[in-house]
Every structure is written in C-alpha cells, then in structure tokens.
C-alpha cells in the first residue's frame, strides 16, 4: 500500500482502494499514488476494467484533505492525472467503475464523477460543500455535474452544498445502480468482469467516441468520427478483433479477443 492506496489485480480487473482513515481524504501524495495506479491500468494491455472504491462504509472520500490545505494551498502537485489521479487523466480510454461505499463529498464526489459508471450503496450520499469554505468544486464538479444532470439541479447542489442520497442520484441518472452495502463490491466486480469480457478495442473506441463528441452537435460529432482523428476508433476498424465477432458467430463459438 502506498500513501493510503491499495491495488489488487484479479485477472483483467484492477481494484484501487482508497484507505486513509477516518474519512479517506486525499492530499497531494495520495493523488499522485492514485494517478500512478490509473496510469499503470491505462498502460497495461492485460487490464480491461478497473474499480475504485474505499475502505470502511462511512466515507467513500471526504475529498481534499483539509488538514494539509494551508500548506498545500493551490500549489499542490497532484500529478499528471489531476486531483485524485483521475479527474484530468483524459487519455484513459478504458472504463473505470466507482463503487461508492459511503459519503462522496467534494473531491470524493468529483472522483466518482470522473468514472464511467457509478454503483452506490444505499446509504451513500453525494455533495459538493466547497462553497462553505470559500472555494469552488474545480476538480470537475462544476464542469461534469451540469453535464450529467439538469443544470438547475446541479447548480442548486453546488450553491447550497446540499446532500443528495443515492436513490435520488439514481433517479437523476448519474448513478447506475443502488445496491446494499454488502453487495456493492460483488456487483462492481460482476460488472467489471462483464466489461472485461468484451472486445477491448471496441470498448476503447466507444469511450473515445462518447467523450470526444459529448459537447458537439450530431453533425459535428459525425464529422469528427469520420475524420480519422479518433485513434482508438481507427485502430478498432483496422483490427483483427473487428472481424473476430462475425467469424465466431458463423463458427458457433465464443469470440477470442486479442486486442489487435
């Protein structure tokens, strides 16, 4: 374990666990350790899905470690992935699942928002309290939340700091599933295994298309798609894996994905 970060590998799935009692708060060193984990995931062709979760069942993460706030200030070195190692890791074209096991506050919520899927225990809560301490949620909260849910709902959360329970988050659509806390990791692992069984180049292409076209008009999105500039999509089109699915179907066997 490095700087409160535990990493486990199980086949093609990597689990990153934040373990910093009592609230799993994140300082610069922890951000860098998380970033190193996500970069290792990005660069390992054997890994196809990742889960990020936290120890305990009260806090997923309280966000920025206020005990180090005065000394770190705005000059903190969070590493190439930005705060929590993931919020600005824009070249990660593999899926990350957040398994939110408790309160996701401030930067903890921003870490969850930077994931591709969010599973939450029934008692989990999401909130951005930065306005109460004179700052803005600038590790993705003020950018990503209004793109995930209606603007008026997002702006109310940020201006008031109110807590949103997991069931309401699921209704608004930024949480995929709400499960019991005892089932959370099993559900996350089952979802990770399902994704890891799919064609990895297709998974990367889907994520790249979705993220690269998110704020474009449909016409502009199609123009980008056909431009040859989306490298993961282009790699998928030219791959043997793109032929393997049809081949396996015709031969009545499961496909064997080789990532090439």
Q: Which residues carry out catalysis?
A: 110, 130
Our CA angle for 15, 20, 22, nearest 5°, is: 130
CA-based torsion, 66, 72, 78, 83: positive or negative: positive
> Which of 16, 13, 3, 95 is CA-nearest to residue 60?
16
Cα–Cα distance measured from residue 231 to residue 247, given in angstroms and rounded to the nearest whole number:
24
Q: Return the CA Rg of the chain.
A: 19
Matching residue, tokens 């350790």: 33
Cα–Cα distance measured from residue 99 to residue 55, given in angstroms and rounded to the nearest whole number:
11
Strand duo 125-127 + 164-165: pairing: antiparallel
Helices (H), the chain: 28-43, 69-72, 107-113, 141-148, 151-160, 166-172, 184-196, 200-212, 218-225, 231-237, 241-250
Cα–Cα distance measured from residue 185 to residue 157, given in angstroms and rounded to the nearest whole number:
27
């Amino acid at each position: 374990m490095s700087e409160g970060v535990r990493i486990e590998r199980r086949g093609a799935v990597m689990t990153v666990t934040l373990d910093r009692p009592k609230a799993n708060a994140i300082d610069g060193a922890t951000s860098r350790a998380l970033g190193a984990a996500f970069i290792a995931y990005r660069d390992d062709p054997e890994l196809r899905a990742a889960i990020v979760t936290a120890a305990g069942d009260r806090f997923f993460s309280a966000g920025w470690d206020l005990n180090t706030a005065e000394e770190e200030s705005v000059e903190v070195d969070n590493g190439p992935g930005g705060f929590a190692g993931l919020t600005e890791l824009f070249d990660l074209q593999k899926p990350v699942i957040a398994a939110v096991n408790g309160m996701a506050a401030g930067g903890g919520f921003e870490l969850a928002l930077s994931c591709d899927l969010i599973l939450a225990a029934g008692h989990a809560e999401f909130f951005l309290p930065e306005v109460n301490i004179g700052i803005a949620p600038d590790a993705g909260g003020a950018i990503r939340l209004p793109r995930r849910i209606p603007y008026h709902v997002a702006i109310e959360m940020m201006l008031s700091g109110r807590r949103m329970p997991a069931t309401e988050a699921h209704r608004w659509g930024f949480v995929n599933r709400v499960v019991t806390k005892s089932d959370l990791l099993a559900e996350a692992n089952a979802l990770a295994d399902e994704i890891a069984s799919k064609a990895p180049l297709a998974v990367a292409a889907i994520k790249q298309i979705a993220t690269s076209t998110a704020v474009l008009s449909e016409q502009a999105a199609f123009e980008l798609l056909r431009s040859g500039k989306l490298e993961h999509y282009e790699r998928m089109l030219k791959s043997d894996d793109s032929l393997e699915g049809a081949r396996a179907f015709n031969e009545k066997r499961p496909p064997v994905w080789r990532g090439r």
